[in-house]
Each structure stands twice: as structure tokens, then as C-alpha cells.
Structure 1
Amino acid sequence: MRRFTDEELEALLSDTESDRAERKESFQGDAPKKGRQAVCAFANDLPNHNEAGVLFIGAKDDGTPSGIEITDQLLRSLADIKTDGNILPLPVLSVEKRILKGAEMAVVTVMPSDMPPVKYEGRIWIRTGPRRALANEQEERILNEKRRCKNLPFDLYPVLSAKISDLSKLIFENEYLPSAFAADVLESNNRSYAERLASCKMIVSPDETTPTILGLLAIGKSPQDFLPGACIQFLRIDGTELADPVIDEEKIGGAVVDILRRAEDKLKAHNRTAVDIISAPTHQKELPYPPAAFQQILYNAVLHRTYERTNAPVRVYWFNDRIEISSPGGPYGNVTAENFGRPGITDYRNPNITDVLKTFGFVQAFGRGIAIAKKAMLENSNPEPEFETSQSAVVCTLRRKT
């Protein structure tokens, strides 16, 4: 991301008619909401500038400084815009403190998205001159066409052998849409079924109704017909070695949300509660593993796995002394073997599947899964999760409470 010079920022700051700049005197009251709307609009880049938009905090409407103090807490609050999950797909932005026109200002620089339309709380925001507005049907179609011209991540590739009939209209209209869009947006929506699917990236476009990888994984009737490895292989092994007897086995398929729900149920069924009636005055119920730990690791395994050029499933092997969860594909992008698991270090191999899991409520905020798992294991007196990374897989080991 290119860093603007002071002169470039001051020029944007002073141009009150620009559709690439928005100014806020502070980040209080309704400013956080309107600021996120602005970030969403800059990410959509409807005018097709192919240049970053800038949100200034600490500037009046005419571009003069408002004189507020730019604190570390304010900068952290602005950085949360990227990861709190209210803007989907996740925006690419930077946050910094700058001295402009002789005063401190917070500067949020937002790159145009490769995967429009971008939504904030289920609404598609755009810039029309110096103002924000909700996209109408024609503007939404333009954003969909822009997406087709970009280099797409693998989860938006079309599956040429699939048809629109391979997608579940029932799940899409009754489960996905009400979670993805605000109720008032749906009520006023006159778009066709194909237009709605295209807006959610489930098909290529209203005119080319070929399902995408995302569409099959999110709402496919039988995704494994096209993506055989998009499943979870569960084994409950009565012992500590892979060669020991298997007492429960299941290959869990279906759409990604159904896979996770069924896998969670399976894990919870085996996570039997022990009751201690000796060491304390009252009965103490203890779980071998905290549910939050295996849930978060399971979500990460499905979310961050590679679906490209592999038929390998996510593997969940439950031994007597540990659970091993293996995800196909090694660290991706900014995440390396050296920095894996560090706070704040994250990247997304499947950014649109990320959006689906957020929409369905499996992800509350991004980049926190490992931290949540570690905390849950500590509070349950389990050893800390162990990770092994390679080019072909990430394996997490959760050791049983002793």
C-alpha cells in the first residue's frame, strides 16, 4: 500500500468535493458508524479511481483541523474497523497519526477492494461526489462487473461442471440472505434470484449463472460432488497411536456450515464430563477439553485450509490423551512458520468463505481464534495448544487435561 505524502493528504483534505476523502472532527457519537460507512464506500470504489480513499479523523468539514488529541486508544479503535467483521469482505486499510496543516490527525487509508460489492452491516455503501449513499440495483450490477475484471481468489473461481440447480435456494433465501443483509434492504429488494446470488458471489454473474467455489461450499446441495476434499474426517481412537482400535468414525460432508455444526456435535459428544466428588466440599464437573478451544481450532482449520488442487479433508483425530486437528495447506500470505499464532498476524487464503462463516455467526471477530483457544485451555488447566506447520499442512494438538 502506497503511503501518501503530507502534500497529497493536505490536497485531499482541502478538496471538499472529492469522492476520495471524508472528514470527521472526532470519533465519538455517530462518527464510528459513519466512518465505517465511508470505509465501505472507499473499498467499493464505484467511480473506479483505482486509488485509495482517505478518512480523516480530527478535521472539520472544510478541511481545517478540529484540534483533538490523537491517542493510541483512538488509533486502536480505528484499526478495529478492519477486523471487527462488520465490513465484508474485509477491507485493506492502514491507520496512522500524521501532522497535517500544523495539527495531529488520524488518517485511515482504504484500498479499493478486489471483491466488490463490499457491505457494512448488510448494506452496500458507495461515494457519489462528496456524499455517501446506498447502492441502487444498477450500481450494484456495476460493482459485480468490476469484480469479474479482477484477479480473483480461488474461492470465487467458477466450477464449470456445476449448475445453478446445484445450489440450495431454500438455504440461500431462508438462512443466508436474512443473515447477510439488513431487513429493510431485503424488503425493498426487487432483484431476481440470479442477481441476488451474484451479489453474494455464489455465481459468476446474473448472465453467467455458473456457481463459484464459494457458492457450492456455502449453499451447495452436495458440494463434495465437485470438491471431494471439502469435508471433515473424524476418528475416535481408543489409544494414543494411530494404529490403535477405532471406536467411532465419520466422514462429515455437506455445505460448510452444516459440516461445522455436525463436527461440533461429534466433538461435544465425546467430551464427556467428569465429576469430582472427593477433592472439594461440593461436586466439581470437569471437561477434558474446553469446547471453545476445539471449536476455534476447528473453525480455523476449515476457514484457512486450501481447497485448490487437493482432495485431502480436514482431519480430526481424537486419541485418549489428545486431539489432533490437521488442516490441508500451510501458512498463507503474511503468516509464516516463524510468526504463526502471534497476535495480530493474520491473512486469509479464502476471504469469501471467511465472510460466510461471519455471516452465519461462526466468527465474531477476525484474527482471535488461536488466542481464544489458548485462553480457554489455560482456564481449563490444559496444556497450551501445540502447532506444527509445513508447506502442506497445519496440525494443532490439544492435550487432554490431566
Structure 2
Amino acid sequence: MLGDAELISRIDDGESDRVEFTVSTTDLDKFREAICAFANDLPGNGESGLLFIGLQDDGRCAGSAIEDGLLQTLGGLRTDGKILPFPVMEVARRRLRDCDVAVVQVEPSDNPPLKVDGRCWIRTGPRRGQATAEEERRLTEKRRWGNVPYDMHGVAGATVEADMDMRAFENDYLPSAVSPEVLAENRRERGEQLRALRLVAPNGEPTVTAILVLGRDPRYWFPGAYLQFVRYAGTEVTDDIVDHAELSGPLPQQLRDADRVLRLNIAHALDTRGERHVEVRSYPYEALRELLRNAAIHRNYESSHTPVRVSWLADRVEILSPGSTFGEVGRDNFGRGATSYRNPTIAEAMKNMGVMQRFGIGIETARRTLAENGNPPPEFDVQDAFVLVTVRRRP
């Protein structure tokens, strides 16, 4: 975060394409749009954008109450699933010239265009607005391809025509990723749509995300891109196998099929000990669903041919995800609120297709629903080559 002297200097210079003032402390849509516009950096200044909350349009103090809850809400905008891909930003409370303000500092993105609910926002001078088709094309061309994550790399040898399911793209993905108004207004060619949504590389090859999410045969290109389910009769993997399945196809299909497998294998019973009969489940479906989706979306697709494995034993369920922690998340802070995405474009695609509703709440949801169901908390084993989560059966 910039120092107080620099922040005051920016305030004195007034609103611009890198500075915005607002009195409101509750308009989350406005905050998201401002963050999105700063991250897109259409003018190409390469400088941090600053949203000052608690200042009037002319920079005078508004006397707004800057509470801890506001700062937490602002920090949560980064991963609440509305702004995609995720912005790089910091939030802080500062007292500048005897005025309390919340400052959101947003860095220019290496991977524009960012959008809020399918709409691309930019700043031209002190004004914020939706990008035109031409402005969005310019943002797409600004991407720093050497810095993009692996899931945005092109798949050598693959082609859009032969290896992508374009019917699924046009009928399912595109309407969910771009607002109807923008689609009706822009009328882009298919190639421009694919580039804007990070589904093709500069040379026209489908990206890793495109093949995994919309590919005709993802396992041809990524042999480990499937879910392996095995149910055992006892408590050891050497015991007899009761059932097994390999769930293949595009990732959304894999996860939908996995949902059905989870539901079929959760045992239900009726507790008649009290005045009211209560249904008891061996595992809460919601917890297993969240943990399995995390394992599939955040796994290592780059250098591992191992599938995501679900081992269903008599006393526990184990879910193994190839690849260890990534980025800011390490063994010391895993599962404690820190977030970092190995595959941000895959995560964006899953959100667009309705497979995920919010980011960063999977482990929290699992812990909560396990506790509500009477199960012990999940156990995480973080190793160099994998992350293993163990969920114990309800006693």
C-alpha cells in the first residue's frame, strides 16, 4: 500500500483514470465496478488505481464511519466470484488529514479484460463506464502472455474446430459468461469471443481451460483429467472393492456425475430416540461436494497424470488432489482463510457455468456442515506432490 504522503498527493490531484472518490460505504456494485476498471487499466499507465471510500467528489472529508466490517467486506470482493478473473488488490484504513478513509489499492492486471457479472468496466479520465467492443478488444490485446497461469496456455496441436465442443460454448458457456445485453450489443465474431474469454491463446490454439472445460476429449490431451472413485468393503484399501467408477469428459460433466455418485453412497438412517424422528446421514453431501470440487479445480494439470481419487472406506472418505499448495497458500496457512489459485481461469469457467457459486468458502462450508451433521472436522495432509483430505464417518 502506498504511503500517506503519496495518498494525500493523489487526493490533491483529484479524480482521474487512477483515482476515484466515494461517500458510500455500502454500494458494493459501485466498488466492484471501480476495482474492475482500475485492474483493466485501459489507458495503460501501469500504475495502481485507488478507490477512496469516505471522500466527497471534490476530495473533502465525508465523515464516513470506517468500521472493521467494511474493511472485511471490501477485502472479500476480491474472491466473491463477481469480479473475474481475480484482481490483485489491498485494503486498508488510513487517517489522512484528520479524515478516516478506506483505501482500496488495485494493481493493473496481466490478464485483462476483467468483468463484473459479465460486464467489462473501464475508466477514461475521471469517468467510469462499460467498455465498448473495440475497447474490450484492446484490453484483450494487452495481455502479458508470458505471465499468464498455466491454464491459459495454448494446448499444442489442438484446434478449436476439432477439439472444442462449440455447441456447448455457444449454447451453455457464452450466455452464462457474458450478460445478454452485451451479447446483443457487441455481436462479435466467434474468434473474438473466445479470445475475450481467455479460451484461445494468441496463436489460435485452445487453452488448457478450453480443453478441460469444453473439450471433446480432455483425457486425450491430459491423461489424468478424470475422477477415480473406489468404494471398499472395509477400512483398508486392501479390502474387497464394492464399487468403482472413472468419471471422464469435460470438467463440469465430471463434477455433475460425481455429485450423483456422492448422493448414492451417503447412508441415511432414521433416529427415533427423541419425540421427533430425525434423518441421520453418514456424511453431509455439501461437505463432500465442496471438498471434491476444490480437489478437481485446484489440482495440478501441468505435470501430473494422476487423477483425483476418491477412496470410500467403511469409516472414512479420502479425497486426493494431485499437486501441493500454490502461491500464497502453504502448509502453515492451508485451510485458514488464505487463498491463491493455481487455475484461476478454470475457476472462472466453473463459476460461469454454475458449478461454483462463490470462491474461497469450500473448506469453511465443509467444516460447518460436518459439524452440523455430527462428523469430526476434515483432516488435511499437505505433501509436496498432493493434498489428501480425510473425512470421518459420523459416529
Greater shift in the superposed pair: 66-75 or 360-369: 360-369
Separation in structure 2 between the aligned mates of residue 272 and residue 187 of structure 1, nearest angstrom = 48
| Amino acid paired to 1:309 | S
- Within 2, Cα distance between the matches of 1:46 and 1:150? 19
Q: How does 1:299-310 map to 2 (within 5 A)?
A: 299-310=293-304
Equivalent residue number for residue 209 of structure 1: 204
Q: Any idea what SS the aligned residue of 2:78 has?
A: helix
Identify the match of residue 381 of structure 2 among 377, 388, 400.
388
Correspondence list, 1:75-154, <5 A: 75-154=71-150
- 2:228 pairs with 1:233: yes
Alignment match of 1:190 (pick from 187, 191, 194) = 187
Q: 1:397, CA displacement in angstroms?
A: 0.6
Amino acid at match of 1:215: A
For 1:60, which of 56, 59, 80 is the aligned residue?
Answer: 56
Matching residue within 361, 369, 380 for 1:376: 369
Structure 2 CA distance for aligned equivalents of residues 282 and 142 of structure 1: 63
Which residue, out of 236, 249, 256, partners 1:254?
249
Q: Does 1:356 align with 2:349?
A: yes
Q: Does the 8 Å contact 2:39/2:107 carry over to 1?
A: yes
Q: Report the AA paired with residue 232 of structure 1.
A: L
Report the equivalent of 1:336: 330
Match of 1:159 in 2: 155
Give me the whole-angstrom Cα distance separating, in 1, the residues matched to 2:357 and 2:50: 26
Aligned to 2:171: 174
After TM superposition, give the deviation of residue 17 of structure 1 in Å: 5.1
The answer to whether the 8 Å contact 1:114/1:150 transfers is no
CA RMSD of aligned residues (A): 1.4
Match in the other structure for 1:24: 22
Give the match for residue 318 of structure 2: 324
Deviation string 1:107-147 (CA, Å, 9 cap, x unpaired) is 00001112111001110111111111211122112111111
* TM-score, with structure 2 as normaliser: 0.97
- The answer to whether the 8 Å contact 2:110/2:144 transfers is no
| Whole-angstrom CA distance in 2 between matches of 1:27 and 1:89 | 24
Q: Which amino acid aligns with 1:106?
A: A
Aligned residue identity for 1:312? T
Separation in 1 of the partners of 2:56 and 2:186?
36
User: How far is the alpha carbon of 1:325 from its aligned partner?
Assistant: 0.2
Tell me which amino acid in the other structure corresponds to 1:4.
Answer: L
SS in structure 2 at match of 1:194: helix
Do the aligned residues in 2 keep the contact of 1:64 with 1:101 (CA within 8 Å)?
A: no
CA offset at residue 148 of structure 1?
4.4
- 2:8 is aligned, of 7, 10, 19, to 10
The amino acid that maps onto 2:247 is I
Could you list the runs of 5+ residues in structure 1 that have no partner in the other structure? none
Q: How far off is 1:284 after superposition?
A: 2.7
Aligned to 1:297: 291
- The 1-side partners of 2:276 and 2:58 are apart by 67
* Alpha-carbon spacing, 1:116–1:401, altered in 2? closer, same or farther (3 Å): same
Unaligned runs of at least 5 residues, structure 2: none
1: CA distance, partners of 2:313 / 2:110: 43
Aligned length: 394
Looking at structure 2, the residues matched to 8 and 59 of structure 1 have their Cα atoms a distance apart, in angstroms, of: 16
Local SS of the residue matching 2:143: helix
What code does the residue aligned with 1:369 have? G
> 1:180 & 1:149 partners in 2: Cα distance?
22
CA distance in 2, matches of 1:155, 1:334: 18
State whether residues 85 and 366 of structure 1, in contact with CA within 8 Å, keep that contact through their aligned partners in structure 2.
Answer: yes
What letter matches 1:290 in structure 2?
P
The percent identity for this pair of structures is: 44
Distance in 2 of aligned mates of 1:264 and 1:212 = 26
Contact kept? 2:25, 2:64, Cα under 8 Å:
no
* Alignment check: 8 A CA contact 1:36 1:87 kept: yes
Contact in 1 for aligned 2:229/2:309 (Cα 8 Å): yes
Secondary structure, in 3 states, of the residue corresponding to 2:377? coil
Measure how far apart 1:50 and its partner are: 1.5
Q: Distance in 2 between matches of 1:47 and 1:101?
A: 30
3-state SS of the aligned residue for 1:395?
strand
1:263-308: CA deviations, max 9, x gaps? 111111111312334x234433211100011011001101211111
